Amino acid sequence: MSATAAAPVTPDDLLRMPDGERQLELIGGRVRQRDKSMMAAYIGGQLSFRLHEFAERNSDWVLGWSLGYHCFPAAPNDVRRVSVTYTACQRIPVELFQKDQPFMTIVPDLAADTRAMDATDADVAADAEAWLSAGCRVFWDIDVDEQTVRIHRPNGVTQVLQAADTLTAPDLLPGFAVPVADLFRLPGEPRPA
């Protein structure tokens, strides 16, 4: 008796899943669940808040985890999610948000993600490559356990920022600067001197 392979899941199949399962990703025809720790959710919120503060000055778009992205030419059926994205205002027409669209089809300028609890370095590198090859200008991998931010760029150059460093993106977000330590600082903890 031979086992039959399950049919690949499509973006439409993902939309038909129960509400609790719609926050899943779809990679290579397979559903992927990415469990995040409470600390990862907190840090993602911190970064989102900082990006929102910056984006308001330019009327740019900052979008969060609940939005799936269906914009990967090399993998046209993939739906991916990250903790937060940033996109310049002129790249997303307001009318797009007035439609009832289930997925964003425009590649963000920046994608930032807190690592899932079971993510390996290879998983993160593959995620970064998918976003960058789709046209994203920078991918920030936020490692909760190591308290680092790894910056991936399309040219293959990566940079690791430690707690003493400052997270910037001068070519994309001129004037944006967040001490890496601040991303990992819990409420009530004093700021480093």
What is the CATH T-level fold of the domain 23-179, as seen in this structure? Answer: tt1808, chain A (3.90.1570)
pLDDT for the residue numbered 1: 46
pLDDT tens for each residue of 39-55: 999 999 999 999 999 99
pLDDT for the residue numbered 19: 62
**What is the pLDDT tens value at each position of the chain, 193 positions in all?**
445 567 888 898 888 887 655 578 999 999 888 888 899 999 999 999 999 999 998 888 888 877 899 999 999 999 999 999 999 988 888 888 777 788 899 999 999 999 888 889 999 999 999 999 999 999 999 999 999 999 999 999 999 999 999 999 999 999 999 999 999 998 888 876 6
pLDDT for the residue numbered 193: 66
- Whether the full predicted model's pTM is greater than 0.85, yes or no, is yes
- Distance between terminal CA atoms of the chain? 68
CA-to-CA separations, 46 to 76, 84, 124, 182, in angstroms, rounded: 31, 10, 20, 9
